Every structure is written in structure tokens, then in C-alpha cells.
Structure 1
Amino acid sequence: MSTKADQKIPELDFDTPALKRHRKVRALKDRTAGVGIAIGGSSVILAVLLICFYLVYEVAPLFSGASIEQKDSYALPATESGESLYLTSEEQIEVGFRVAENGDMIYFNVADGSVIDKVANPIGEPTAFAVESDTSRMVAFAYQDGRVLVAQQNYKTTYPDGVRLITPSIEYPYGTEGIQAADFAPRHLSIRDNEERMTIAVVGDQQAQVTRVTKDVNFITEEVELTESRSALPFVADTHSLLISGDQRYLYVADQQGNMSEFDIRDISDIQLKEQVDLIEGNGQLVSMRYLLGQSSVMVADSSGRVSQWFNVRDEDNVEHLTYIRDVKHPTGLVDMAMEHRRKGFATLDDRGVVSIFNSTSSRQVIDQRLSDSSATMISFAPRANALMLEDSNGINVFAVDNEHPEVSWSSIWGQVWYEGYQEPTYTWQSSAANNDFEPKYSLMPLAFGTLKAAFYAMLMAVPLAICGAIYTAYFMAPGLRRKVKPVIELMEALPTVILGFLAGLFFAPFLEENLAAAFSILVVLPLGILLFAFIWSRLPQSVRFLVPDGWQPMLLIPVVVILGWICVAMSPVIELNFFDGNIRGFITNDLGITFDQRNALVVGFAMGFAVIPTIFSITEDAIFSVPKALTQGSLALGATYWQTMTRVVLPTASPGIFSAIMIGMGRAVGETMIVLMATGNTPIMDFNIFEGMRTLAANLAVEVPESEVGSTHYRILFLAAFVLFTFTFIVNTIAESVRQHLRKKYGSL
């Protein structure tokens, strides 16, 4: 009989061909999975980096410097006519135009200076000259006998044999005889014209006058009939410059020392001195006084090198006053100043021949370069501001200018800017308007503020409900009920946000406006009612309470919530009538002084909170449910209550997951587009008022990107907004990951 020791133990062979093949296949699968995961992760990182680089690529030109390059230089065309009083070109920079001292109007080829046409002044040599505006192409001459002649440049473009041909000409909209604007020889002239009337102001050696030409259309002949009226103007000694406001309400008369008198000329039969303003600091002399585009801002250049901006601002009594806004300063004296035709930019020429180009609103200097010697006397912009013409002792110099985005600076994007027509510096986003003189306003502060405001109110609603619901569902609810509740809540995340925005904007917002009393009463009544019901339930006999299985008690709250909500809505008119005189919105607006907009942050809080709740709930519930049962059972075995176990064991252990849920929910709220687009009113204002709307970065991108011109300042500013949103999300996620790792290390040993 053999013993166990005598029995031969079977040997296991791990190197059979089958096992070797199995190990090779498994190793191959492991390597393939590793490579696939590495490629996938690297692709995600690469895609994010490419998005970032592309955004930077589109945004970078906004902050790149401008450049200027000389193209042509030649002697002054028609030198025999004298130096230039005015210099410009047409839009294509092919035909130049200058007005000479003797009144001749000369068209010349910008490329070589050859004279195309020389139009002699119909009346003779002028004693004063003025430009109505660069955009209207209208100029005016005053003569010894007091007449004023108005001339207008005209360009006709044809394409013979497929080649562009620009034919210039001069038109006289008020005839070649001129308008009798004074009975003395004017030394200074200003003119302003529109479809309804024209105003002419002249100043002589000892007197001044204003002439108003009113235009009336004869309904029978459809001819324009002109009616002239004239009035004497208080004389300002040592007059240097005249300006008539764009609406022809005010006349500004400045002397050599910069003392300016503002006259009200709305009724020229009763001209009133409105106010007097000192435009120049120190002992400087006035060099030039001109309007920016739009004829609202007066730009004043003086011999000390300072250029200041002024425009009318209304005071508390609704009276307009010409107010100093901002300035730029040069180290040396100025010789001339030129305005851009289509933007709020200007250029200065100093006594060293240095040309500087600025944008008035952003206070940004984009060019500061010496282009001539000290003999330079005049500069002017081409209509598109892509070329600059400079006149010096050698003739005319033409420069190509590359200055695409002068209106953008960090201060104009993130700081308060004092815009024309505003009573004070503000944060404003307004990218377009109906008129050509509009100045875009590209402050991203209202959009960033609106983004944070929408996210705050959404999280204010979503976080408490989602986390508390997740805690109860994962820890206290019966497993059978949990298996039904969790999928239903997660299914809410599948609802398209455009549907939620549609319902919020067209149904919920009007309903909330009509039932504000119900909304506020629900916030008070519902929690108190639930607590009261819970207290009553806890005092019922056990025989009654045991009828409901443990963990199914939340089902009892459904009728409680429905009934309390119905009571609040039914009592809303009664509450409004007895406590708010039947108009709670009027009480909020009139008595509390709080503005109310139907589509407001409260609507967004409810709608976007509803969209964010499933995300936070699902991640939080999984984190709590994943806490090892041994921890909870050990805590309970040591005598801790369910609540103590939840607060001291479960929540700290699940805190990394809960924090991640909140951050992911916040990211969803910050990047939400359709709900805020349809339910906020899209008003870019900075007001934390819960009854006011807002505009977010994401909604602004959705609205304006399809309408922006590719490569324009507006287009690149929108990409900057996208980059800000990208950066904000990246920073928040980075901080969230750091905090999550810290919490994991802190509570990982529990």
C-alpha cells in the first residue's frame, strides 16, 4: 500500500505552445491598448493645443504694431498755383486732389504727380478756405466781397477695355456765383451742410456773421428752393479757428491763445454766447482745431505738442457743456493734424518732421516715425486710412500705411472708456449701428460679467438641489427607488438646450413675470411646508409610518410639493393685491428703484440650473455611492449615527468627486449658449440685479460671428472673446484638478 509521499505529484508545464501563444497574444493586446490610449490622449492634448494656437493666431494681429512705408515722392503738382491749403485723394489712391493758395483745384496722379486736371477758381483768389468734411468731399472759398463758393469733388469710375479709369471733376451745388455770406472780407470760414440746411460762419478783421441757407422742396416742381438768412456774430479778437457742430446747433470760435467761445446758433436771429472754455494748458498757441469722424469730438492741437479731445456732456440739469475728455502729448511742437475719414483716428506732424498716428478712443499710438525734415507743413489721410500724404519743401511724399486695428488696446477692452455722447466713462459692448459715423465699442467686461452672472445664478440653484438630491439618493434612498430615480434625472441631461431656452424665453419668462408673488412665496413656503410635513410624519404612530418601506418616504413628498406649489400660484393674485397694491412689478420698479426686465437672471437661473442639475447630480451620486461599504459599516458599528457617518466619513471620502462635479457643472454653465441666448434678453450690461438680463461670451459669439467680416477688428475681437472663454475654462479646470488631488490625498487614507 503506497503512501501519499510515494504518490507522484503532477508537474504543471507553463511553457506549452498554447500558453506561449496566449501570453504573446495578451502582451500584444496590452501593447496595442497602451499605444492606442497614448495616441488617443496625445490627440486630445494636441487638439486642445491646436485650438489654443489658432485662437492666438487670429487674435495676435489686434495687438501688432502698425507700419508705414514710403511709396512715391515728387515735386508739388502745379507749383505755380502756390502751396496747398488742402490735400487728399480719392478712395483708390490713384487720383490726388489739392487746393492751392490762389484757389485753383488741382487733380493729379498720386503715383507720379502728373497733373490730370487743373480747375481755376470761378471767382478768383480766396481770402479764406474751409473743408465741410472729408467724407462729403465738399470745400468752400470766401472772397474779398463776402461771397462764399461751395465746390465738391466728384469721381466717375469706368472700365474701358477692362481697365479701371477714374475721371475727376468739380461740381458747384450752389452755383458758381457763390452765396453772399457777409458784407466784408472774411479771414476765417467754417461751413456745415446737410439735406435740410447749410450754415456758413465767417470772421473778418473787425466783425463776424452767420448765414443760414434753408432748403425747401417745392412739391409741384420738385425743385429745391433756398432761403437765406443772416445775422451778426459777436466778434472774437485774434480769431484762429472756426467750427460748426455737425447738427448745426453750436459754433466754436477759438483765438490764438486757445480761448474758445461757444455760441448757440440754432436760432441765428438770436445768437447766444453759451460758454467759454480754455482749450490750452500753459502758454501754448493754437495750431489746429478739427472734428473727428461724426462731428461730435473736437480735437485741439497746440504748439506745446498736446492734442486734446473735447465733446459735449450733459450735466445734472440736462445742459450740454463742452468737456475735456483725454489727450496725448508730444515732446515738441506740432505743425499740422489730419483726421481719418472713417475711423476715430488722427495723425500729427511736429516741427521735426515726425508723424504720429493715434486712435482717439483707445488712446493708442500706433506709429511714431520721422518721415521728413523740419520743412514739412501738411499731412492728410487717404479715405481708407491706408495711405498718408505729406507735403514739404521738396513736394509731396506718399506713404503706404498698414494700420488695421488701431481702436483696440488693453485699456479699451478691459477698462472704462469715455465714448462720445456718454455722460461718463463706461464698459460698453456695441459692435454695430445703423449710421456710418458709428464708433464700435469693444469692451469685453460686460460679456465676461454676464458670463459669470449667468453661471452664478445657475449654480446657486443647481448646486444645493443636485448635491442634496445625490446625497439622499446614494445613501438613504431604497435601492429599488434609486434604480428608477437616477436614470430619470440623468435623462434630463439629454434634453436639447435649445428647447430649454425656447421654453424659458417664451413660456417661463412671461409666466414668472405674471406670478412673481407665487415665485417668491414658493421659495419660502415650500421648504417650510416640507419641514412641517416631515415633523408631522415623525410624530405619527409607528404603525402608520411602517406602512411605507424604509427609503421610499420621498414619494410622500410629491403630493406635498404639488399641493404647496398650486396653493402659492392660486394665492399669488391675493398676495399681490394685499401687499403690493396689485402690481408687484411696479413695486419693484417704482418703490424699490430696481429695474425689471422680463428675460432676466432669475429666468436664466431656473432654466440653466435645470440643465446643470443632471451633470452635478450624476457625478456626485456616483462619488458618494462608490465610497467603500466597509467604511460606512465600520462607522455604524462603532456607534455613529447615519448622519454622523454621512458628514464625517462619506462626504470627506467623496469630496474629490463632489468638487469635480461642481467644477464640471460650472464649466457647463459658463459655456452654455442657447439658454442664455434665448432667455436673457442679450443685453450687454454690468448689473448684478437679478431682474436684469445679461449677455454672455458664448451667446455673443453665437450671435455675432456669422455676421462679422472675416479679418476685421470685430471678427478678431470675437476670437479674443473665445480665447478668454477658453482661458477661463482652462484656469478653472486646472484649479479644480489641483484641489481634487489635494482632497484625494487628504481623505484617501480614511
Structure 2
Amino acid sequence: MTESSSSDSPRPSHLPSAEAMAKRRRRRYLADGAARWMVRAGGGGVVIALTLIFVYLFSEVFPLLRGASLDEVGTIQTSSLGEGRGVVLGLERYGEIGMRYTDAGELEFFGLETGELLQRTVLELPEGVSITSIGQGEPRSRLVAFGLSDGTAVILKHDSELNFPEEGVREVIPAPDFPLGSEPLVVDPEGRALRAIAVQQARDDVGVAAQMGDGSMTLVRFRVRTGFLTGEREVQRQHWDLPRHEADLTHLELSANLWNLIGTDEAGDLIYWDIARPTQALLRDRVRVASSPERITELAFLNGTFSVVLGTSEGRLSQWFLVRDESEDAGDNVFYLAEAREFTQHEGAITDIKPEYNRKGFVAVDDSGGLGIHYGTSSRTLAMEQISDQPLVAVEVSPVNNMILAEDASGLLHRFDLWNEHPESSLGALWNRVWYEGRSKPEFVWQASSGSDSFEPKYSMVPLTLGTLKAAFFAMLFAMPLAIAGAIYTAYFMTPKIRGVVKPTIEVMEALPTVILGFLAGLWLAPFLENHLPVVFTTLIGLPLSFLLIAFAYAQLPRSLRTRVPPGWEAVILLPVIGLVVWGMVELSPIIEIAFFNGSMRQWFTDVGITYDQRNALVVGIAMGFAVIPTIFSIAEDAVFTVPKHLTQGSLALGATPWQTVTRVVLLTASPGIFSAVMIGFGRAVGETMIVLMATGNSPVLNFNIFEGMRTLSANIAVELPETAVNSTHFRILFLAGLVLFAMTFVVNTIAEIVRQRLRARYSNL
């Protein structure tokens, strides 16, 4: 008999057929392949999303890195306008009309597109009287003063008006004005020639300062009064003599409040007169800026008239501040001259400096035909171009910073389109100390806006970055011990029944809106801590001591009583203890303040020089700690709970105590998960917005004082982004803050993953 092979044996009826099995395998392979590609697509999608976020943020930030650019759009030959040499140029905001003052005392209006002369205003000077000096007010005032040889001056204003001859048609027409009348005004009653002159508008007054031929100095304030009934204009005059200056002044500038007078002389000195009280005017300071053969060739106030820029015959440009003298022997409001910064040197002697209308920038030209665009706060030279083979004699920048007009020695006017949107920002201005106007030294300051038109924006990222780290540090200082210790106890010591209640309860806390925590921190916790400051310190000492005392008392109980408490339920005993200790510390707080701090611990802090703000880092640390604890606790508890049982049981079997097992086995094995929990919690704290927004006071201070507030990157974005103009420098710097925040969290998470992988590899063999 031949035996049949096993392959020929019939398949049991309860098993599927071979075709069905093959079909199932194919479906399983397809499902596995689809799942594998879905996981890959999900991971790739995350990477792509992060990349796109970074690209978008960088695209908004990139224009901050650009300098200025010039495009020449035309030239005008001034011989078609007049015979005089241009000394002051002007532009109106719509870029249709240019203005030009000549050394012959003429004001010419001309079309920028056609070069056609539109209107000419000529000074009517007395017979035998000549122009001896010319001074210009800040750009917004549009004032130019002509000092005359007989001690008088004529003040002229170049202005324009809008006319709408028909619907949808706009015309810009010249509107020259003599704000104090066309007749020469008496500056020096003795009739001495005005060697140097300065003019400035101060509300209703026009101030004129001048040096006469013999070195005498004078200050005159003119005010126009219009009769209520007659309508006649009357010019009132006030006159004060100022301290003499024997050397011939080459330039003279008057501040907008008529408190400061700054000049330069032929010896290369920069001189400052304090004229806040004209009857007690003083020559406060004198600094040698240039030594022979170098000379000071130009001087101009920047917008706001808080600082001056001077140029020399060697092409040097420097910015000078009036800095408050803080020495003990100096009185109040005593200032001195200090050099704040220098700019890129020009190739030729500086021939004209023109400040911007509404920013701290300026344009300078030189006698080699070079034009430079500079900015004060950021200490940037944004562009340097050779625009002519002739010396340049005058320059003007548009009120909206989109056009530049320059005249060379041959009488040719060069017109340029200007792109200069973000001169305020630079790596140095964002991350280094900057010497701002009105400050005694370079500092890190964030102050993006003010009610003043002459405000100098301060965009230092350091206070915001440090505030972010400060908030996260104190939050982690509060959250880490509680979350990690709670996770270890819950996972290793607590009974499953209690763990089944505690773990979900803490994880549900993560769903609590942070705006609620911020609301409670700002409106309840902050005032409570302010009124019960000793509680902060007594609780930190009292709670650990009470735990030790309870543990010692529990150990002294008879064994028969201790065995009645099931293992893992010991923590329940501490709950009433915690409540009683905290309540007792709150009740003792007023007594402690009276006994040790003269009734007020906050006042005691102030007396010893410690600043205390109601909304401070302590409040943020506690409130944000509660927001971070669930994240750290949940991940750390899972890491501890999933430690293999054979490791812990083997340790106990070898004679180790539960505490030794935790510290020498469990923590080492769970360390990758615990570290990840800490770093993820730190990332959560870095990006938190609502708590720090509502509980810090949002003051961008630069310290780690736990009793002072801070401003974080995220809170700053939330506060200021809705109020800023789209595509402005402020707008883009807020996107830079978002990019910095994104980079910080990315770096933290990357480091966490690298360390976690190394810890896992190290302890994977346990």
C-alpha cells in the first residue's frame, strides 16, 4: 500500500481556503503599507508645516535686513530757474514740487517732472544791506532765516497747498509765507552784522539766536498777536543777551523748545549754551571735535532737536547728545555734550546734512559727489553712492522718505526715488546696548511707541527674551519639584485605587484655560501675596518641617495602629496637615510683619532697596507653574509607571528598600521620559501668553528679581501686534520676536530629543 503524503491530506473544514488566506494577506500587506505611508506622510507634513512657518516668519523679517536704495529718475538744470547758488532745498510730500533757496535771497518753486519755474519770491532788502548768514529750522517748521548785515533778519517759510479744481483732480500749488512779515526784523538793535544765525518754531513763538560781528550773542523771541476787533497783526519782541563767544561761529542751531543753543566755531569746537532761563544763560560745555587742518563743515539737529550730527572736512560724521550730569556737585537739569556714535566716513568734506522729517535718520553729501544715507539709533549707514562728478552743495529728503533731491556745484539738480523703509533695525540695535537720546549711557530698552512725534523707537529684544526666560525659569522652579515628586509617588507608591482618581484629575487640569489662571493670578493671587508676603517664606519652611514632624510622629505610633493604614494611603494623612499649616501661616502673617518688619514687609523691601511690584515673577511662577504641572506630571508619571516590574522586584528581592529602588533603579530607567517631560514643560512655559499677559504688569525690565515683573516675547506680540501698522518696522520686529520664540522652542525640543535618545540608549540594557 502506498502512503499518501501529508500535503495531500484534506484541509480541516473550519479553516479558510488557501485563496482566502492569500486574499487576507494581501489586504494586510496593503493595510500595513497604507499605515506606513500615512505615518510617513504625517511626519513629513509636520516637518513641512514647521518649515513653512519658519519661511513665512523669515519672509516678514527679511526686509529688516535691507539697507536703502536709490534710483535716479531725472535731473534739472538750475540755470532755467535763476542765477543764484542753491543753499537750501525743499520737497513737499506728494513729490510734485521742489523748493530752492539761493544765496541771493530767493525762494524758487519748480515742478519736479518738468523743471519749470512755478513761482519766485525775492527778499526785499534795504539799499546797501547784504545777506551775511543763513539758518534753517527743523524740517517740519519749513523756516529759513536770512541774517543781514544791518543786524536784522528776514524769516521765510516754504510751504504748499492743495487745490482741487475739479472732482478727482489734485493740484499742489506754491504757498510761500513770511510768518513774521516781509519786513526785516530787528535782531541786534545796535545794527551789527549777523555772523551766524539760528531759527526755530516753538508753538506760538519763533526764536532767533545770532552771533554778531564782534562776538556778542543774542536770543530774540518773536510772537505774532492778532487784534480781536481790528484783525491787525502785531509782532511782539523779547530780547536777551547771551554769553559772548570770541571765535567766529560757523554754525548755530536752536532746539525746538528754545532751551538749548549749540554751535561750532572755526577752531573746531562744539559749544553748548544753556538758555532755558535766558536771563541766566550759561555757556555749559565746549568740546574740541576737530583739530587743524580738519574743520567742522556742517551741523544739524536730528528730528526732535535732542541730538546733533556734525560733519568735518575729512568726511567724518558723528552724533552728539546732551547728557544729564549726574555728579554730586551738579545741580538739576545740568547737561554736557557727549559723543554717542560715528558713521561711515565719506570720501570728501561734508557739505550739507539734512535730517528726516519724522525719524532719527539723515542724509549727508560731500564735495566729492558722494551721498550717504545714515540712521542715528541703529548706527547704520544704509547707503553710500557716488551720484555726481561735481561737489554736492545741498540735499533734501522728502517728508515721507521716498525721494531725495541734491544739487551739485555745476547747478544740476539730481532727483532720486528712495527705498528706506526700515532703518531703525540692525543686529546691534536689536541685541546690543544702544545709547538713546535722553539717556545717560547705552542700555537695553524696549519702548516701541509714544505720544510724541519726535519719539525715538527703542526695539531691544534683550528685555523681552530675558523676560521670557525669567517667566519660564520661575514657573519651572515651582512646577518641577511638585510635578516630578508627585509623578514618582503616584506611579510607585500610591495604591491603584487612589492613582485612578489622582492621575485623571491632574490631567484634566491641563484643559483649564490659561486665561482663567491669568485672571485669578492677576486679580486674586497678586493682591493676596502683597498683603501676606510672609506666607511665601513661612510656607516654604513650614510645610517641609510639618511633613517631617508628621512622619516622625507616625513612626512612633504602635505597629498595630500603623498597620491599620493600608500601604499607599499615607498621603491622605497629609491633606489636613497641609490645609492647617497654610491656614496657620496666613493667620500668623500680620503678627510676623508687626514683629519683624515694622508692620509691612513690602515697605521693608522698599527700605532696603528691593523693588516690589504687585504683579511680579513670583505670581507668574505660581500661576504658570499650575499650568505646566499637568504636562510634566503626566509624561513623568507614565515614564515611572512603565519601568519594567522585574527591575523593581529584583531590586527589592536583593534587599533594597523602596526608596533605594526608586533612586537607584526607577529614576535611572525613567530618566529619558522625565527629562522629556521637563523640557516639554519648559517649552510650554516659554510660549505661554495669557498668564504672563495678565499677571506680570508687562514691564520690559532687565533683571531676575522675583519681586518685579517682566514682559515676554509672546505677551508682547499679543499686546502690540493689533495696534501696529502693517508692514511697518514695528510690525516686522514683532514677527522677529515670533521667529525668536519659534527658534527657542525648536532648540529646546531638539536638545530634549537628543538627550532623551542618549539616556534611552544608556539605560536600555537594564
**CA distance in 1: counterparts of 2:178 and 2:349, whole angstroms:** 38
Structure 1 match to 2:426? 409
- Does residue 632 (structure 1) correspond to residue 651 (structure 2)? The answer is no
Corresponding residue for residue 180 of structure 2 = 174
Structure 1 residue matching 2:297: 3-state secondary structure: strand
- One-letter identity of the residue aligned with 1:534: A
How far does the alpha carbon of each residue in 1:9-30 deviate from its partner, in whole angstroms, 9 at most, with x for none? 7656775232222222222221
Structure-2 change in CA distance of 1:111 and 1:694 (3 Å):
same
SS across alignment from 2:136 = strand
Counterpart of 2:142, as a letter, is R
Equivalent residue number for residue 61 of structure 2: 59
8 Å CA contact 1:186, 1:204 repeated in 2: yes
- 1:477 equivalent to 2:494? Answer yes
Residue of structure 2 in register with 1:316 after alignment = 326
SS class of match (1:528): helix
Higher deviation after alignment, 302-311 or 343-352: 343-352
Q: Runs (4+) of structure 1 moved beyond 6 Å?
A: 216-225
* Matched position secondary structure for 1:170: coil
Supply the AA of the counterpart residue of 1:730.
F
The Cα shift of 1:282 comes to: 5.8
In the alignment, what sits opposite 2:626? Answer: 610
- The 3-state SS of whatever aligns with 2:179 is coil
How far off its partner does 1:606 sit?
0.3
CA contact (8 A) 1:213 1:226 kept: no
Tell me what 2:84 maps to: 82
Q: Measure the CA separation in 2 of the matches of 1:337 and 1:192.
A: 17
Please give the per-residue CA displacement for 1:717-749, whole angstroms capped at 9, x wherever unaligned: 111111111111111111111100000000000
Corresponding residue for residue 36 of structure 1: 38
User: 1:458-510, CA deviations, whole angstroms, 9 ceiling, x for partnerless residues?
Assistant: 00000011000000000001111110111111111111000100110111101
Amino acid in structure 2 at the alignment position of 1:338: K
Deviation at 1:198, TM superposition (A): 2.9
Equivalent runs, 1:658-737 vs 2, <5 Å: 658-737=674-753
2-side partners of 1:469 and 1:218: how far apart? 81
Tell me if 1:559 matches 2:576.
yes
Distance 1:219 1:540 in 2: 100
Measured in 1, the distance between the counterparts of 2:499 and 2:302 equals 69
Aligned to 1:400: 417
Deviation at 1:246, TM superposition (A): 2.5
Using the alignment, how far apart are the partners of 1:60 and 1:246 within structure 2? Answer: 36
The reply to whether residue 116 of structure 1 matches residue 118 of structure 2 is yes
Any idea what the Cα deviations from partners look like across 1:386-409, whole Å, max 9, x if unmatched? 211111114101011111111211
Partner of 1:164: 170
In 1, Cα distance between the equivalents of 2:295 and 2:321?
A: 20
Tell me which moved more, 378-387 or 220-229: 220-229
Q: Which amino acid aligns with 2:507?
A: E
Q: 1:219 to 1:167 in 2, by over 3 A?
A: closer
CA distance in 1, matches of 2:278, 2:143: 23
> Residues 454-465 of structure 1 correspond to what in structure 2 (within 5 A)?
454-465=471-482
CA spacing shift, 1:127–1:249, aligned 2, 3 Å? same
Shift of 1:88: 1.4
Instruction: Give SS of 2:640's match.
Output: helix
Q: Runs of 5+ in structure 1 lacking a partner?
A: none
- SS of corresponding position for 1:372: coil
Give the partner amino acid of 2:764: G
Residue type of the partner of 2:187? Answer: A
Distance 2:675 2:658 in 1: 22
Structure 1 CA distance, aligned partners of 2:625 and 2:114? Answer: 68
TM-score, structure 1 as length reference: 0.96
Q: Tell me whether 1:22 sits opposite 2:32 in the alignment.
A: no
Partner of 2:668: 652
Partner residue in 1 for 2:241:
232
Query: What percent identity do the matched residue pairs reach?
Result: 45
Moved more, 377-386 or 54-63: 377-386
**Letter in structure 2 aligned against 1:231:** W
* One-letter code aligned to 1:635: S
Which letter does structure 2 place at the counterpart of 1:139? V
Contact 2:223 2:237 in 1 (8 A): no
Partner of 1:72: 74
Separation of aligned partners in 2, 1:247 and 1:374: 38
1:257 aligns with: 267
The separation in 1 between residues aligned to 2:384 and 2:502, in whole angstroms, is 69
Q: Residues 580-617 of structure 1: CA distance to partner in whole angstroms, max 9, x if unpaired?
A: 000111111112x1111110000000000010000000
Range that drifts further, 227-236 or 211-220: 211-220
Q: Distance in 2 between matches of 1:224 and 1:594?
A: 59
Q: Deviations over 1:332-371 (max 9, x none)?
A: 4323222222211122222321112111121111111110
C-alpha root-mean-square deviation of aligned residues, in Å? 2.1
Shift of 1:664: 0.4
Superposed, 1:373-388 pairs within 5 Å as 373-388=389-404
1:183-242 Cα offsets, whole Å, 9 max, x none, are 222121101221253321122321434233265979976998754222333143222111
Supply the AA of the counterpart residue of 1:177. Answer: E
Which residue among 129, 145, 148 is the counterpart of 1:143?
Answer: 148
Aligned-pair distance for 1:516?
0.2
8 Å contact from structure 1 (residues 451, 670) kept in 2: yes
> Residue 93 of structure 2 corresponds to which residue in structure 1?
91
**Could you tell me how far 1:519 is from its partner in structure 2?**
1.8
Structure 2: how far apart are the matches of 1:184 and 1:446?
Answer: 55
Contact 1:257 1:284 (8 Å CA) reproduced: no
Deviations 1:520-560 (A, max 9, x none): 11111111111111111111112222222110111111110
Q: Is the CA contact 1:77–1:113 (under 8 Å) kept in the aligned structure 2?
A: no
Counterparts of 2:367 and 2:215, CA distance in 1: 33
Q: SS in structure 2 opposite 1:711?
A: coil
Which amino acid is the alignment partner of residue 546 of structure 1? T
Who is 2:538 aligned against? 521
Amino acid at match of 1:298: V
- Mapped partners of 1:337, 1:257: distance in 2: 20
Cα distance in 2 between the residues matched to 1:544 and 1:122: 113
What's the counterpart of residue 341 of structure 2? 326
Shift of 1:252: 2.0
Deviations 1:676-712 (A, max 9, x none): 0010100111111111100000101111111121111
AA aligned opposite 1:120: V
629-638 vs 439-448, greater mean Cα deviation? 629-638
**Mapped contact 1:230–1:269 kept (Cα < 8 A):** no
Q: Which whole-Å CA distance do the structure 2 matches of 1:218 and 1:499 have between them?
A: 61
Shift of 1:637: 1.4
Q: What SS does the aligned partner of 2:443 have?
A: coil
Residues 129, 141 of structure 1: 8 Å contact kept: yes
In terms of mean alpha carbon deviation, does 631-640 or 292-301 score higher? Answer: 631-640
> Larger deviation: 404-413 or 142-151?
142-151
1:740 aligns with 2:756: yes
Note the residue ranges of structure 2 that are not aligned, 5 or more in a row: none
Give the equivalent residue in structure 1 for 2:638. Answer: 622
* Alpha-carbon distance in structure 1 between the residues aligned to 2:235 and 2:593: 62
Alpha-carbon separation, structure 2, partners of 1:471 and 1:216: 82
* 1:502 corresponds to: 519
Question: 155-164 or 728-737, which moves further after superposition?
Answer: 155-164
C-alpha separation in 2, matches of 1:201 and 1:563: 76
Cross-structure match for 1:276: 286
- Aligned counterpart in structure 1 of residue 352 of structure 2, from 327, 336, 343: 336
Report the number of matched residues: 744
CA contact (8 A) 1:341 1:383 kept: yes
- State the AA in 2 paired with 1:321: Y
What residue identity is the alignment partner of 2:336? Answer: H
CA gap 1:138/1:58 in 2 versus in 1, 3 angstroms:
same
